[in-house]
């Protein structure tokens, strides 16, 4: 793997998390200042755009596991952001969801279908969004299993073709 590809694949998850944690959602919710948060947010979005563009160009139109991992993180953070916004607007919608880290934690436990119960959806809006995330999880796991099956089948077919070529 090329060094630039490795850096690109590491840059994207870091940029997504940086964007999630520092981008101000309102003037009262700017953990490091509104101007600096907007600057980091813009730089993070640019890093995400560059990384995704490079992956698409290098992928040669073939879905790879790294693409599903990127999609997983983007969806994880997107749901966390929605949870945080809902909890900020209507605190009665969630139990014990007070910070962005709480929202990311809840999104991750929901994605992993662990559900410890320390953070939970209490209101109808929150439950609707959680239900949507759970449905997404089923589709995502199905796509991941399908990709793995296709890769195993492809490797088996290549191995069979090589074996037939050596015998013929």
Range of the domain at 40: 1-62
| Mean pLDDT, rounded, of the chain | 79
Higher pLDDT, 38 or 10: 10
Q: Are residues 87 and 15 in the same domain?
A: no
Q: Are residues 156 and 134 in the same domain?
A: yes
The least confident of 4-18, 37-51, 64-78 is 37-51
Q: What is the pLDDT of residue 89?
A: 87
Q: Are residues 137 and 74 in the same domain?
A: yes
Q: Are residues 53 and 84 in the same domain?
A: no
- Which of 39, 62, 85 delimits the end of a domain? 62
Q: What is the pLDDT of residue 56?
A: 61
Q: Are residues 159 and 103 in the same domain?
A: yes
Number of domains in the chain: 2
Q: What is the pLDDT of residue 116?
A: 92
Q: For position 115, which CATH number holds?
A: 1.10.287.70
Q: Are residues 77 and 153 in the same domain?
A: yes
Which residue, among 132, 80, 70, has the nearest Cα to 101 in the 3D structure? 80
Q: What is the pLDDT of residue 91?
A: 94
- Which of 20, 36, 62 delimits the end of a domain? 62
Q: Are residues 114 and 166 in the same domain?
A: yes
Q: Are residues 123 and 79 in the same domain?
A: yes
Q: Are residues 138 and 149 in the same domain?
A: yes
Q: Are residues 19 and 101 in the same domain?
A: no
With beta carbons less than 8 A apart as the criterion, state whether 41 and 19 touch: yes
Cα–Cα separations (whole angstroms), residue 116 to 109, 125, 141: 7, 20, 20
Q: Are residues 81 and 55 in the same domain?
A: no
Q: What is the pLDDT of residue 37?
A: 59
Helix (H, G, I), strand (E, B) or coil at 109: helix
Query: Encoding tokens for residue 52?
Result: 């995704």
State the average pLDDT over residues 78-96.
Answer: 91
Question: Band of the pLDDT at 109, cuts 50, 70, 90?
Answer: very high
pLDDT tens-place string over residues 150-162: 878 888 888 888 8
Q: Are residues 84 and 164 in the same domain?
A: yes
- Which of 46, 62, 78 delimits the end of a domain? 62
Q: Is the pLDDT of residue 164 over 80?
A: no
State the Cα–Cα distance between residues 76 and 1, nearest whole angstrom: 27
Question: Band of the pLDDT at 82, cuts 50, 70, 90?
Answer: confident
pTM over 0.95: no
């Amino acid at each position: 793997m090329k060094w630039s590809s490795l850096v690109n694949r590491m840059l994207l998850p870091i940029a997504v998390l940086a964007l999630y944690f520092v981008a101000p959602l309102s003037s009262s919710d700017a953990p490091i200042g509104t101007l600096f948060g907007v600057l980091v947010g813009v730089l993070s979005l640019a890093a995400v755009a560059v990384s995704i563009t490079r992956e698409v160009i290098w992928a040669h139109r073939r879905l790879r596991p790294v693409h599903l991992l990127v999609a997983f993180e983007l969806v994880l953070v997107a749901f966390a952001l929605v949870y945080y916004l809902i909890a900020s607007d209507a605190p009665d919608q969630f139990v014990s969801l007070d910070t962005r880290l709480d929202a990311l934690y809840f999104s991750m436990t929901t994605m992993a279908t662990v559900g410890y119960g320390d953070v939970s959806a209490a209101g109808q809006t929150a439950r609707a969004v959680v239900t949507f995330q759970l449905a997404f999880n089923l589709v995502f796991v199905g796509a991941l299993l399908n990709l793995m099956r296709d890769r195993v089948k492809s490797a088996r077919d290549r191995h069979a073709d090589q074996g037939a070529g050596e015998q013929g």
